[in-house]
Amino acid sequence: MVTSPSDSERLAPDWPTVRTQLEQLFAGCDDIEMTTFRFAPDGPEEALLLSCPPLTQGLDHNLMRTAIDSLLPQAEARAPGERRPALIAFFDARGPAQRQYDLLETLPAIADAVLAGRTVLLLQGWPRAAGFESRHIAHRQIEEPATEAIINGPREGMVEDLDQNIALLRARLKTPRFKLEFHTVGELTKARTLIGYVAGSVDEPALAELKRRLKRADKIELLDTTALRELIEDNLYSPFPQYRVTERPDVAVSAVMEGKIIVMAEGTGTILICPTLFTDLFQSAEDYYQRTVIATLVRFLRIGAFFIALTLPALYIALSDFHPELIPTNLLLTVLDSREGIPFPALLEALMMQFFFELLREAGIRLPRPIGAAVSIVGALIIGEASIRAGVASPIMTVVIALTGIASFSIPQYELATALRILVFPMMLLAYALGGYGLMIGYIFMFLHLTTLRVLGRPYLSPLAPLHPRLLLDVLLRAPLRLRLRAARRQRGGVRP
Amino acid sequence: MKGRAALLLILLLSATGGLTSCGGMELNERAFVLGIALDLDEHQQYRVTTQLYSSGQERSDNPATGNVINIVSHGASIGEGVRDITLHLGRKAQWGHTQMLLIGEQLARSPRFREALDFFYRDDEPRLTLRLTVVKGEAGPYLEHHAYIEKSVSRQARNIQHISKKFSGKTTERNMLQLALDLHSESGIAVLPYADDTGNRETRIYYKGGAIMRNGRMVARLNAKQMPYYLMLKGDYSSGFLGMPCSDGGSSESLEILALQRRVKLHPQGEELQVQYSLQISAIARELSCTALRTEQDAERYTARIDRYLEEQLDRFSRGFMEQGLDVLALGDAVHRRYPRVWTSWKPDWDKRLPRIRPRIDVQVHVVNLGLEGGTAVFGEDTH
């Protein structure tokens, strides 16, 4: 990396000052190693090797050896006084052929290089330094992402190494149309981030808008891609997610092929997919690895799960408090039997049980796995069984809350499930105040909000509203490939497998 | 815009806190009515027996009780009687789940029956799908028994009505809406299910035929034997068993009717109405005590005998009521529908015209299974 240096940042011409400058720069950084060499036992000239061993661990390639092996024939042939100029000439001309290196001219560049895992070689009397690529950090192996398990299909998941992640994507998209644009953010983390898209498929206005927004990201100290989501989201206070998260390369690739933009960052395997529309949240990678009828039915199931997770407790409250005549008589009698003697109104009972359930869920996520199992036992026994026996909650309410919970688990996007966890509470209050009418008001407000929501300039509810019937083939249904191919031929576009 | 929507939402939610469930009521603040029995007491006032569900937990020691309580109230009007239920219970009565309305025969035959039903037609809670039954004697005591299987005797009565209409044809099925429609039809006749007690000194509901209603009161009865013929001619018969006496007069055979198709043709000829019923019945021979089926001719003779027997019975049944001037088969409606102009001139003296109508009835029974396909007739083979 040859930068255009300002005078103050240049390496000092005299060797002792260079050494002092470097020692000051890395004072207190005990993980930085500085090794001094002498060219020859008789020579006064010194060379300095700078590196950060934790970043180069396990590297079995001896860089100095490489350099010196290439150097020896030249050095030995010369008289002692000529050796140094020969060496400098050698490095200036990028001598050691086996290993690529950068020429560094300033102190900050040297610091950056060392901290990025390079090994930096300085020679006395040479106003530059050579930075050898030697970064080698142990990373997690590629494994199946725990949060996006599937039955059929590729099992690779993203890791924390950005280059490895890029490799996973590039290996699947062998076209120069797949663009990856790097950008470094953060003053301390200096994390490499990138946006990826397929030129020609991508929605250009959305891409321009995203780039404009990510310009503001420079000051963000990034540990995970999700730190960028607030820049991507149009409405921060909406409960509905306007981006999607994946750790699966196949999902990311299929998204960019559909014209989406992915955002990745160094140090995390989380990929943000944007703009994500409402209907995208009901899709799972596996839909495309299953038979079309099954996949379509499963999508319907998820849509059903959405409404259950959003309204079931509220519906129960509305029916029992306002419209008991709508409950089939035999069911009503059973409900009556179970409700009799419960000291709380239906709303309080529902709020309480839902609250307990949320508590359990939260506790279960954070705890280490062996203790997590204990939580679910406590939850099932104490909250479920014992609260019914104690007469605090009715069995039917437990069924309602459990069904709501299961429905929210069956929504493939965790972010949407979280949104529903929040929305279920106002729905319950509305149902308690106004019954079925309240539920309707709740739905009207929700749909009003959804229809006004836009993501990177696109309506959140499209292709439902505004309606694009052809796109619906792959939204509500998972139409057979043949059908979609025909539709694609008409549009002259590609099609997802 | 967004701000305003949010503001509205906040207002609405805060209003939610303010309205402590204004229209809503917890389930255990209500009492659900399962059955109602209406009678006239000795002062010619209404006696309303209301059967309510009482949730079962504290009564779980005796599950056979069916978890119901009956409350008897009196009043010059039904509303007056009904209002008193709250005084007994401390819960609001909810009428939406009422399974059965039992009407004592005395009330059904009195002109006050119309007023009594008016309450149920005008109130918003009882449904128009509420089933009705006219019972012999007083209706109240019928609710005092425990149900056999169901949670309440009201529910049981409703189920018996439905199932026996469907599988035996011994009674009919009528709800409030159908009753209103029937009474307002041109012929103005409705047939309600009629129940008797089982006879074992127990007032348990046992459906036996129907009650013929006219001008909002009961005027005659259809007995359990007439009921299947009524349903057949109305085209309302679904399935059931039919007994057929043997020629010796002692024993009897039975036939299971699986399906029945009815067609009516009618056209006015001068001042007379020509009516032609044709019935196509598929049936299974169930018991043969005086018939031997060995050859095809035997089978033909057997079928012809059934045809003849049914034709006779149906003819006798239809004439019987027509001679009384009761248009049980709603022929008046059919005339009105097809020949509205004729009907306007006939309507005033329809009662007098009715006895002159001689419907022609043609029955064709198709015995789909003589009972031999399923195996060997062990006893019936060589009887004759």
Give A356 or B379, the one with higher predicted confidence.
A356
- Domain-ending residue, one of A82, A101, A133: A133
In a domain, B78, yes or no: yes
Q: Is some CB atom of chain B closer than 8 A to the CB atom of A388?
A: no
Q: With an 8 Å Cβ cutoff, is A445 touching chain B?
A: yes
Residue B142 lies in a domain: yes
Residue with more model confidence, A139 or A347: A347
Candidates A142, A196, A141, A203; CA nearest to A173 is A196
Of the residues A133, A157, A190, the one at which a domain ends: A133
pLDDT above 50 (res B208):
yes
Average predicted confidence (pLDDT) for chain A: 83
pLDDT at B63: 45
The residue segments making up the domain with residue B105 are: 28-224
Residue A52 has pLDDT above 50, yes or no: yes
Q: Are residues B121 and B258 in the same domain?
A: no
Domain termination site, one of A106, A133, A160: A133
Q: Is A448 helix (H, G, I), strand (E, B) or coil?
A: helix
Q: Is A333 in Cβ contact with B57 (below 8 Å)? A: no
Comparing C-alpha atoms, which of A202, A205, A204 is closest to residue A258?
A: A202
Examine the pLDDT at B381 and tell me if it is beyond 60: no
Quickly state the pLDDT bin for A190 (edges 50, 70, 90).
Answer: confident
> Is residue A265 located within the same domain as residue A292?
no
Q: Are residues A177 and A93 in the same domain?
A: no
Q: Residue A320: count other Cβ atoms within 10 Å of its Cβ.
A: 31
pLDDT band for position A374 (50/70/90)?
confident
> How many domains would you assign to chain B?
2
Sign (positive or negative) of CA dihedral B301, B302, B303, B305: positive
Q: What is the pLDDT of residue A66?
A: 62
> Using CA atoms, how far apart are residues A465 and A75, in angstroms rounded to an integer?
75
Do A358 and A271 share a structural domain?
no
Q: Which residues of B touch A449 (CB under 8 A)?
A: 5
Q: What share of residues in chain B are helix, strand, coil (percent, to 5)? A: 35, 30, 35
CA distance A233 to chain B (A): 16
Determine the average pLDDT of the residues in A431-459: 92
Asked whether residue B5 is domain-assigned, the answer is no
Residue of chain A whose alpha carbon sits nearest to that of B126: A325
Give the pair of three-digit tokens for residue A433: 């105040």
Crossing angle for the helix pair A346-366 and A292-321, to the nearest 10 degrees: 140
Question: Hey, what amino acid is at A389?
Answer: R
Question: Could you tell me the residue range of the domain that residue A103 belongs to?
Answer: 7-133
Is residue A299 within 8 Å of residue A478, measured between CB atoms? yes
d(CA A150, CA A170): 22
Q: Which of A207, A206, A179 is nearest to A194 (CA)?
A: A179
Mean pLDDT of A436-462: 92
Is B232 a member of any domain? yes
Q: Determine the Cα–Cα distance for residues B9 and A442; give it in Å rounded to an integer.
A: 9
Instruction: Based on the fold, state whether residues A239 and A124 are members of the same structural domain.
Output: no
A58 and A186 both lie in a single domain? no
Q: Do both A197 and A312 map to the same domain?
A: no
Looking at the structure, do residues A96 and A242 belong to the same domain, yes or no?
no
Any domain includes A138: no
Q: What is the total count of domains within chain A?
A: 3
Yes or no, beta carbons of A441 and B1 under 8 Å apart: no
B189 and B58 within one domain:
yes
- The span from the CA of B52 to the CA of A332, in Å, is 13
**CA separation for the pair B123, B96 (Å, rounded):** 10
The pLDDT of residue A61 is above 60: no
Position B91 in a domain? yes
For residue A267, what pLDDT is reported? 87
Domain contains A210: yes
Per-residue model confidence (pLDDT) at position A124: 79
The last residue of one of the domains, among B206, B224, B242, is B224
Report how far residue A58's alpha carbon sits from residue A326's, in angstroms, rounded to the nearest whole number.
71
| A452:B1 CB<8 A | yes
Residues of B in contact with A391 (CB under 8 A): none
Query: Does residue B41 register a pLDDT over 60?
Result: yes
B123 and B266 in a single domain? The answer is: no
Neighbour tally for A439: CB within 10 Å: 22
Question: For residues B35 and B157, is the Cβ–Cβ distance under 8 A?
Answer: yes
Sign of CA dihedral B346, B347, B349, B354: positive
Is the same domain home to B211 and B264? no
Q: How far lies A467's CA from each of A86, A297, A302, A451, A461, in Å?
A: 73, 22, 21, 12, 9
pLDDT of residue B384: 43
* Same domain for B238 and B154: no
pLDDT score for A438: 93
- Looking at residue A310, what is its pLDDT? 94
Closest CA to B322 of B215, B233, B207: B233
User: How far is it, in rounded angstroms, from Cα B155 to Cα B32?
Assistant: 13
Residues of A in contact with B28 (CB under 8 A): 336, 339-342
Co-location of B255 and B176 in the same domain: no
Contact present, B212 and B222 (Cβ < 8 Å)? yes
- Tell me which of A78-87, B36-45, B119-128, B275-284 is least confident: A78-87
Q: What is the pLDDT of residues B62-72, one digit of tens each?
A: 444 458 889 99
Q: Using CA atoms, how far apart are residues B305 and B310, in angstroms rounded to an integer? A: 9
Same domain, A14 and A80: yes
Does B215 lie in the same domain as B265? no
With an 8 Å Cβ cutoff, are A432 and B94 in contact?
no
**Whole-angstrom Cα distance, residue A427 to residue A417?**
15
Query: Strand, helix or coil at B86?
Result: helix
Measured in Å, how far apart are chain B's first and last C-alpha atoms?
93
A 313-332 residues inside an 8 A Cβ radius of B: 320-322, 324-325, 329-330, 332
Statement to judge: residues B218 and B252 lie in one domain: no
Average pLDDT rounded to a whole number, residues B174-191: 93
Do A303 and A416 contact (CB within 8 A), yes or no? no
Residue A343 resides in a domain: yes
Mean pLDDT for the stretch of residues A420-443: 93
More confident residue, A64 or A117: A117
Say if B45 falls within a structural domain: yes
| CATH number of the domain where residue B371 is located | 3.30.300.210
pLDDT tens column, B261-305: 999 999 899 888 999 999 999 998 888 888 887 778 888 888 999
| Residue B7 counted as domain residue | no
Q: What is the structure's pLDDT at B64?
A: 43
Put simply, whether A340 touches B (Cβ < 8 Å) is: yes
* Residue of A235, A237, A317, A333 to mutate, interface with B, max B Cβ within 10 Å: A333
User: Mean pLDDT over residues B311-322, rounded?
Assistant: 92
| Residue B205: pLDDT over 50 | yes
More confident residue, A197 or A374: A197
Q: Lowest-pLDDT range, A92-106, A157-171, A399-413, B222-236? A: A92-106
Q: Please give the average per-residue pLDDT across A78-93, as a whole number.
A: 67
d(CA B373, CA B19): 70
The answer to whether residue B23 sits within a structural domain is no
Domain boundary among the residues B198, B224, B250 is at B224
pLDDT (0 to 100) of residue B108? 94
A456 DSSP 8-state letter: T
B348 and B252 part of one domain? yes
Same domain, A124 and A154: no
Would you say residue B1 has pLDDT above 80?
A: no
pLDDT at residue A3 tops 50:
no
Angle between the A395-409 and A292-321 helix axes, to the nearest 10 degrees?
150
CA–CA separation, A495 vs A485, rounded Å? 6
Instruction: Identify any residues that bridge with B36 across adjacent strands, giving them in sequence order.
Output: B50, B101
How does DSSP classify residue B76?
A: S
Pair A252, A366 in one domain: no
**A466 belongs to a structural domain:** no
At residue B58, the pLDDT reads: 46
Looking at the complex, report in whole angstroms how far the Cα of residue A336 sits from the nearest Cα belonging to chain B.
6
Beta bridge partners of A147: none
Q: Which percentage of chain A shows pLDDT scores above 90?
A: 26
Same domain, B53 and B202: yes
- Closest chain B residue to A437 measured between Cα atoms? B23
Q: What pLDDT was estimated at residue B383?
A: 45
Asked if the C-beta of A447 comes within 8 angstroms of chain B's C-beta atoms, the answer is: no
For an interface test with B, the pick among A319, A331, A335, A336 (most B C-beta atoms closer than 10 Å) comes out as A336
Q: Residue B90 region, left (φ>0) first, then alpha (ψ -120 to 50), else beta? A: left
- Look at residue A308 in the predicted model and tell me its pLDDT: 95
> B212 to chain A nearest CA, in Å?
30
**Same structural domain, A321 and A399:** yes
Distance from CA of B325 to the nearest CA of A (A): 41
Rounded Cα gap, residues A483 and A472, in angstroms: 12
Show which of B179, B199, B224 is a domain's final residue.
B224
* CA A334/CA A316 separation, integer angstroms: 14
Nearest Cα residue to A429 out of A417, A421, A439, A419: A439
- B201 and B149 share a domain? yes
Do B288 and B296 touch, CB atoms closer than 8 A? no
For residue B102, pLDDT beyond 70: yes
- Residue A26, φ and ψ in degrees, nearest 5: -105, 20
> Which single residue is written with the structure tokens 């007379």?
B272
**Does residue B293 share a domain with residue B213?**
no
| Tens digits of residue pLDDT in B367-378 | 887 766 655 555
Check residues A92 and A365 and name the one with the higher pLDDT. A365
pLDDT of res. B28: 83
Which of A147-151, A252-256, A319-323, B183-187 is least confident? A147-151
Q: Does residue A355 share a domain with residue A267?
A: no
Listed residue (B250, B239, B231, B230) closest to B316, CA to CA: B230
The three-point CA angle A119-A123-A129 to 5° equals: 50
pLDDT single digits (tens) B51-89: 998 876 444 444 444 588 899 999 888 888 887 888 888
Scanning the structure block, which residue is given the tokens 């407790």? A313
Residues in chain A: 497
B1: chain A residues, CB-CB within 8 Å: 452
- Nearest-by-Cβ selection for B26 from A346, A430, A448: A346
Q: Do A433 and B56 touch (CB under 8 A)?
A: no
Q: What is the pLDDT of residue A81?
A: 63
